[in-house]
Structure 1
Amino acid sequence: MNLKQLSQTLGLSQTTVSRALNGYPEVSEATRKRVALAAEKANYRPSTRAKGLATGRALAIGHVIPMSTKHEMVNPIFGDFIAGAGEAYSRHGFEMILSIVDDSSEEAVYQGLKSRGSVDGVVVHGPRMNDSRIALLDDLDLPFVVHGRASGVTTSYSWLDVNNRRAFQRATDFLCDLGHRRIGLINGLETMDFAHRRRHGYVESLQNHGIELDPTLMTTGEMTEGYGYLSTLAMLSSSQPPTAIVSASMISALGARRAIEDRGLVMGRDVSIVTHDDMLSYLQNGTDVPVFTSTRSSVREAGRLLAEMLITRLADPTLPPLQTLLEAELTVGQSTSPAPSAG
């Protein structure tokens, strides 16, 4: 059933029916309820485009992904985040627009989204240190929220982040308490704010336990399985290999496990691993008992919460910036045990 047919059924004009469905105040409450009931019975849903034309809004949220991080599109972590955000958008009648852009034209894309009115707001992914996109979006007056934080940016802005520093401090503390003293770090790209904070937590824990820092046990790179594999092989080939590793994602932790097994060692006996972000829909960390000990956070829930945050700001632009810091939960699995020398 389309709008014209629904209007004829109710004996009302198409304009009145459209205004009733879109919440215009000049429509009486009785008429609004009558129209809503009829629309529900007829399973009628106004098109997003038509609703946008009626309200003067795009009813769309933009996600701009630089080509340098295009691997995120097939990364289960990114997929879970988008799934969570999509649930919120669908519930509130918004569409999602994903744009893959060359890094050099990213700012121009944001300017185009604003000038064309293509979106009502945007989600900023992968904030970098001193991220210039925040000032740009402020200047454009384009509503936005950031998935993460950008150290060095002094203006106030809306963000949702996991306490990465605290998560990696707790992970390293846990390994130190098990007697480990040679602990490796397989981190993300440290130009990204989250990875900078994770290294800080790892270093802080080692210093608190009186353990000297060893640069040969700290790596930074894109969090792929291959990166985890090669980084772990290099560490295990050193004259003083690690007895434990903290990994920035379960993807790279899988590579670390493969490297351990290729060397004829056993994960959780010879080399312990603590990972992060293990609550993934399509890559489960075991069933009843987790395979990996992890600092657990739900990326899907983060996507949902961040989308709700942006929608809240769109509904009331006078609100001050909204900021949420989530804590990760340390969950013990089969990948950790006391250090061999402490056993």
Structure 2
Amino acid sequence: MNLKELARKLDLSPTTVSRALNGYPEVNEATRERVAAAAKRYNYKPNTRAIRLATGRAMAVGHVIPVATRHEIVNPVFADFIAGAGEVYSRNGYDMLLSIVPDDNEERVYRELKSRGTVDGVILHAPNTEDPRIPLLVELGIPFVVHGRATGTAPPYSWVDVNNRRAFLRATEFLLDLGHRRIGLLNGLEKMDFAIRRRTGYEDALASRGIPADPEIMVSEEMTEAAGYRATRAMMALPNPPTALLASSIIIGFGIRRALEDMGLAMGRDVSVIVHDDDLSYMRNGEDVPVFTATRSSVREAGRRAADMLISIITGKVLAPQEQLLEAELIIGQSTGPCKG
């Protein structure tokens, strides 16, 4: 079925149908919903080339990944985010453009995307505090959404983030309630905003119980299995080792479990462990009963929401910066138990 045939069935003009499908703000919501329902019922797929010609849009969204973070391409967290965003792009007729660039060329790539009209908008990944990319994108006038937040960045901007501080505050309080007082933190790189917020939640929970944070059992590294293994071995070799560990990723958690097993310790019995981001498509946290106690947030859902938000900005459905703060759920698994000390 083509556009004219769909318009005849709806008794609308082809222009109105096209504008409804492409999110023009002058089409009222009732008409937009009616057209969308008919398009689904008749399995109508808009011609992307025609949309590009009619709207002047590239019908593509960009993701710029610096070389220094190229591991993100094979990181299941990044893959789940892209999968969720991709669902939304596909449903709305948008392509995805991934650009892998040297760190010092990131600004040039954004400027080229703007000058060439290659994409209609971008999603910005892994924001740092006072991230210079945000004012750059505001200056260039490229619609964008940040996956995360950037503390200290002045211009208002659209973002989707999980409440990292609250997630780690709750996780630390849970361990404290189990009687643990020596709680190690295996965090991500603390130049990144999410890691700073997680450490803040952890430290706030300790402070509320009168327990000072001990830098000797706090590490900030890439969130890999090997980093989790190394940090756990080092912490457990201390004269006063932690009785519980809080990790910024289930990937770190796998390294923690391997290290504890190598030392003859049982996770949950001898050392309690809580991880973050356990809701990954290809790295499940057990089957019926979770292996890890976890602060669970769906990265795939974050991808869907960020993509929906960006397309709403591109199509003019929303004009002011949008913000979505998602809450993590504390899932009780087999990796935590009362402190034995």
In the TM superposition, what whole-angstrom CA distance separates every residue of 1:216-273 from its partner, at most 9, and x where no partner exists? 1000011000001101110011111111000000000100110011101000000110
> What corresponds to 2:333 in structure 1?
333
> What corresponds to 1:66 in structure 2?
66
> What corresponds to 1:28 in structure 2?
none
Cα RMSD of the aligned pairs, angstroms, is 2.5
Distance 1:56 1:106 in 2: 25
Residue type of the alignment partner of 1:58:
A
On the 8 A contact 1:173/1:205 being kept in 2, the answer is: yes
On the 8 A contact 2:46/2:93 being kept in 1, the answer is: no
What does residue range 174-323 of structure 1 map to in structure 2 within 5 Å?
174-316=174-316, 319-323=319-323
What's the offset of the Cα at 1:180? 0.4
Distance 2:187 2:237 in 1: 19
What's the offset of the Cα at 1:207? 1.0
In the TM superposition, what whole-angstrom CA distance separates every residue of 1:23-57 from its partner, at most 9, and x where no partner exists? 489xxxxxxx99x989987x774542342123210
> What corresponds to 1:22 in structure 2?
18
Unpaired runs of 5+ residues, structure 1, are 26-32
> What corresponds to 1:104 in structure 2?
104
What's the offset of the Cα at 1:197? 0.4
On the 8 A contact 2:312/2:318 being kept in 1, the answer is: no
Distance 2:132 2:112 in 1: 17
What does residue range 70-149 of structure 1 map to in structure 2 within 5 Å?
70-149=70-149
Distance 2:182 2:259 in 1: 17
Moved beyond 6 Å, runs of 4+: 36-41
In the TM superposition, what whole-angstrom CA distance separates every residue of 1:193-228 from its partner, at most 9, and x where no partner exists? 000000011111111111122111000011000001
In the TM superposition, what whole-angstrom CA distance separates every residue of 1:111-148 from its partner, at most 9, and x where no partner exists? 01010001111000000010000100000010001000
Distance 1:124 1:338 in 2: 41
Tell me: CA distance 1:127–1:39, structure 2 relative to 1, closer, same or farther (3 Å): closer
Distance 2:54 2:192 in 1: 40
TM-score, normalised by the number of residues in structure 2: 0.89
Tell me: CA distance 1:260–1:37, structure 2 relative to 1, closer, same or farther (3 Å): closer
> What corresponds to 2:28 in structure 1?
none
On the 8 A contact 1:144/1:310 being kept in 2, the answer is: yes
> What corresponds to 1:51 in structure 2?
51
Instruction: Determine what percentage of the aligned residue pairs are the same residue.
Output: 59
What's the offset of the Cα at 1:155? 2.0
On the 8 A contact 1:66/1:103 being kept in 2, the answer is: yes
Greater CA radius of gyration, 1 or 2?
Answer: 1
Unpaired runs of 5+ residues, structure 2, are 25-33
On the 8 A contact 1:22/1:55 being kept in 2, the answer is: no
Distance 1:177 1:39 in 2: 51
* Number of residues of Structure 1 aligned to a counterpart in Structure 2: 324
Tell me: CA distance 1:332–1:101, structure 2 relative to 1, closer, same or farther (3 Å): same
Tell me: CA distance 1:282–1:318, structure 2 relative to 1, closer, same or farther (3 Å): closer
Residue type of the alignment partner of 2:69:
T
Q: Secondary structure at the match of 1:340?
A: coil
On the 8 A contact 2:70/2:100 being kept in 1, the answer is: yes
